[in-house]
Amino acid sequence: MEIQATLAGDATAYKRLVEQYQQEIARRMWRFTRDRRQLEELVQDVFVDAYMSLKSYRGTAPFANWLNRIATRVGYRFWKRRRRTTNQAVALQDWDAFVARDEGIVESHEAAEFLHSLLAQLPPRDRLVLTLLYLEELSVAEAAERSGWSQSMVKVQAHRARKKLKAILEKSGKTAIVE
């Protein structure tokens, strides 16, 4: 097993683990940033954190689950750091351009980018819970396990996050798209 070999000092064993899970982690981290350079840094951070914590992996659940928990924490920390340094509000002209499409036809990548920028206006905790529940389609129990929160906390946080998102839309006067 690659984990035991890594813990025993075999550097190529960890390289094989990284190669096996790198694409999956990159897809997960894409939810946290759309910038390719930042994405690469986040993926690297996940694997560095995993390597540093490898002794704590008990092997009772699949390695991918354990790695996904680390990825969620890395992404959440990224959002928290970024929130302190940038304002990511969606410009109203961008909103108007998005909603003014003929017959409501929108390319999926455009909708995803717009949703990503809209969620960026939420605090990191709210953004995380909505991402886990609605974008990754996890159950409340799975979101609780991934985030390290209780199920009650996930429910409360999701309720508050939905209210904040609705307030952002109402403030802009552009609620027609969600009604």
Burial class (CB in 10 A: 0-12, 13-18, 19+), 176: exposed
My answer on whether 95 and 63 are in the same domain is no
Domain endpoint, select from 58, 86, 114: 86
Please count the structural domains in the chain. Answer: 2
Q: CB of 21 within 8 A of CB of 67? A: yes
Amino acid at site 76: Y
My answer on whether 100 and 114 are in the same domain is yes
Name the nearest CA neighbour of 169 among 121, 102, 135, 134. Answer: 121
Low-confidence ranges of the chain (pLDDT < 50): 90-93, 95, 98, 100, 102, 176-179
Per the structure, the complete domain to which residue 107 belongs is given by 88-179
My answer on whether 98 and 14 are in the same domain is no
Domain endpoint, select from 86, 105, 140: 86
Q: Which two tokens stand for residue 76?
A: 């959440």
My answer on whether 4 and 81 are in the same domain is yes
Residue 2 pLDDT: 86
Residue 92 pLDDT: 46
* CA dihedral over 122, 125, 128, 133, signed as positive or negative: negative
For the entire predicted model, the pTM comes to 0.75
Domain endpoint, select from 43, 70, 86: 86
Amino acid at site 13: A
My answer on whether 81 and 165 are in the same domain is no
My answer on whether 108 and 174 are in the same domain is yes
Specify the length of the chain in residues. 179
Which domain CATH number covers 29? 1.10.1740.10
Residue 108 pLDDT: 73
Q: What angle do CA 136, 57, 135 make, to 5 degrees?
A: 5
Residue 86 pLDDT: 60
Residue 104 pLDDT: 56
Name the nearest CA neighbour of 82 among 34, 133, 47. Answer: 34
Distance of CA 52 to the CA centre of its chain: 21
